[in-house]
Copies of this chain bind each other. A is one copy, B any other.
Amino acid sequence: MAKLPPLKEWVEEVQDGAYGMKWRVKARLFEGKSPFQSVAVYDTVSHGRMLLIDGLLMTSERDEFVYHEMIAHVPLFLHPRPRRVLVIGGGDGGTVRETLKHPTVESVTLVEIDGMVVDAAREYLPSTSACLADPRVSVRIEDGVKFMAAHESEPFDVILIDSTDPIGPAQPLFGPGFYADVKKRLSADGIVVAQGECPFYRLDVQAALRKVVAGVFGSGTLYNYHNLTYPGGLWSFVIASKLPRDLAAPDPERVAALQAGLSYYNLETHRAAFALPEFMKRGLR
């Protein structure tokens, strides 16, 4: 599949036909079409290897640590003793990798709808996906919505919805039926976190998602992180807890024990992530 691209080939991501980002490609490593979407991995001059789904950049080797640390460690340092973790989506493996850094975690189940994403990540993004071979990890190539509705198992302490945008196969992951199932599958002190879009460009989607989550859990809270390669730079997750909990107060001793292995997350960025710009607060009311 790999072939030498023409000199100065660029990969571009354009939103609404009006604004975009571009990266210069060194090599096209993989291009495929699954039953669900197109999947590609390119090596770039400036950002290492990149995974694209339907032409949208999902993850780059240069900055994937930010997204993956912030989706995983915020809930995992809040939960008193996370043992069983479920990841929906996230076929690149980065969220699983961060989850496995927590010594209390005994099992991680990854439910990814598209086997081509997992295969491409295993082959071409080893620094992101190597953890998928860990004996604590079960990879299931299944529809996350059906998995959540149908399977019965021990409850999960933390569920991470590591999804693409609410278009294509990820759309049901933004609906109330899905979150009702999430709540059923969580343990009594469980926490859910989901990819929550960009406040500059998709505040309406954020407000709708927060409302869905709050409708099921009683509350839904956004927290922010920075993304080099997603449009707008400022992006959010939504978090909900079955028990009342101070979401800005992770366990400092457990953070200190893992700090040397983290590049973005620390006690300060955890707390700061919950400080929303005024225009977000207004738009989420």
Within the oligomer, what is the number of copies of this chain?
A: 2
Would you call A30 an interface residue if the criterion is a C-beta within 8 Å of the partner chain's C-beta atoms? no
Chain A's interface size range is 35 or more
- A247 in the interface (beta carbon within 8 A): no
Q: Contacting A24 at CB < 8 Å: which of B18, B228, B268, B276?
A: B18
When chains A and B are docked, how far (Å) is the Cα of A12 from the Cα of B21? 9
Within 8 Å CB of A278, what residues of B? 259, 262-266, 269
Nearest-CB distance from A203 to chain B (Å)? Answer: 12
Decide yes or no: A16 and B46 within 8 Å by CB, A271-B275, A272-B275 being known contacts: yes
Q: What separation, in Å, do the CA atoms of A227 and B200 have in the docked complex?
A: 10
Which chain B residues lie closer than 8 Å to A18 at the CB level? 23-24, 44-46
Interface membership of A281, Cβ < 8 A = yes
Please name all residues of chain B whose beta carbon is closer than 8 Å to the beta carbon of A234 when the two chains form the complex: 226, 228, 233
A263: chain B residues within 8 A (beta carbon): 277-279
Q: Which of B21, B46, B63, B200 contacts A63 (CB 8 A)?
A: B200
Q: Which 6 A-B pairs have the closest CB atoms?
A: A233-B233, A272-B275, A272-B272, A268-B275, A18-B46, A226-B234
* A contact set with B: CB distance below 8 Å: 12, 14-24, 44-47, 63, 66, 200, 226-228, 230, 232-234, 259, 262-266, 268-269, 271-279, 281
